[in-house]
Structure 1
Amino acid sequence: MPSTSAPRFPPLTALFLFLLLGLLQTMTWMGLSVYLGGQCSWMALVLGLTSALALRLGGMPAGGARMLWAAALTALGAVWASWGIVVLQMAISMGVRPDESALKLGGHLAWTLIQLANRPLDWLLLAAGVIGAAIASR
């Protein structure tokens, strides 16, 4: 008798699709934040919808596992984008390339700068993106 439990790990097609779309959106998020001079935390909502869509189109069955994966992928993308924004801003202010800034930036300084840059509305939008990803992927 076949197992009726849903797989806990998404298919590789879903992860690959999210990797491509998520990387494109986080790079767009970083560029927009430098161009507009703000955090652009509303992009977390777009990233949440992308993670839900990638898991659905990638063939992961509906259920709690897909909701958790969508939330986790969105949170990971938001962390990556926030770190990238800090790296870009530090590179601009120090007059170095972003890869040099990334090597010089420590975790404690990055976290401090992220806390200083994000207002309560930004934190709310980041949380809404993660929660929205879980709801959209059910």
Structure 2
Amino acid sequence: MPAPTRFPPLTALSLFALLGLLQSLIWMALAFYLGAQCSWMALVLAVTATLSLRLGGMVPGRPRMLWAAGLTAIGVAWTSWGIVVLQMGVTMGVRPQESAVKMGWHLAKTLFLLANTPLDYALLALAVVGAAIASR
């Protein structure tokens, strides 16, 4: 096991980047296939953030809590953007890459707010807070 450090080592961040990207792609595909937001997948992303920082050798405490919550929030934001882009691209009949370039911040925010229910918001918030608590 590597010596504990105050900041996350590159291996922990690389592990989260790879696993988080894979999980976000699975989350986007699942949301598209089921026609729902599948916000429970945020909890899986929180577990990944927590485990990657723990196994990466970061010192327990407030910095690791903040890193886990931040990585989970970034993963949730990235995936939410991807779901909106994918749904808008299919609706408009363009590829997701073209939709991502053309979609503005205001439209993405509006679609995100319209697509999510209070349960979705609760699960997204629970994932961020749960990642912080689990990584302490």
Instruction: Bin the TM-score by the shorter chain.
Output: over 0.9
Question: 1:85 deviation in Å?
Answer: 0.1
Q: Quote the Cα distance in structure 2 between the aligned partners of 1:112 and 1:43.
A: 21
Q: Quote the Cα distance in structure 2 between the aligned partners of 1:125 and 1:31.
A: 19
Q: Quote the Cα distance in structure 2 between the aligned partners of 1:117 and 1:105.
A: 16
Look up the equivalent residue of 1:71 and give its one-letter code.
A
Residues matched between the structures, number: 133
1:113 aligns to what?
Answer: 111
1:3 aligns to what?
Answer: none
Unaligned runs of 5+ in 2: none
Look up the equivalent residue of 1:21 and give its one-letter code.
L
SS of the residue aligned with 2:73?
helix
Q: Quote the Cα distance in structure 2 between the aligned partners of 1:100 and 1:8.
A: 41
2:60 aligns to what?
Answer: 62
- RMSD over aligned Cα atoms: 1.0
After TM superposition, the score normalised by the length of structure 1 is 0.93
Q: Quote the Cα distance in structure 1 between the aligned partners of 2:92 and 2:56.
A: 41
Question: 1:7 deviation in Å?
Answer: 4.9
Unaligned runs of 5+ in 1: 1-5
User: What percent of counterpart residues are identical?
Assistant: 69
Pairing 1:35-114 to 2, within 5 Å after superposition: 35-114=33-112
| Preserved CA contact (<8 Å) 2:49 2:68 | yes
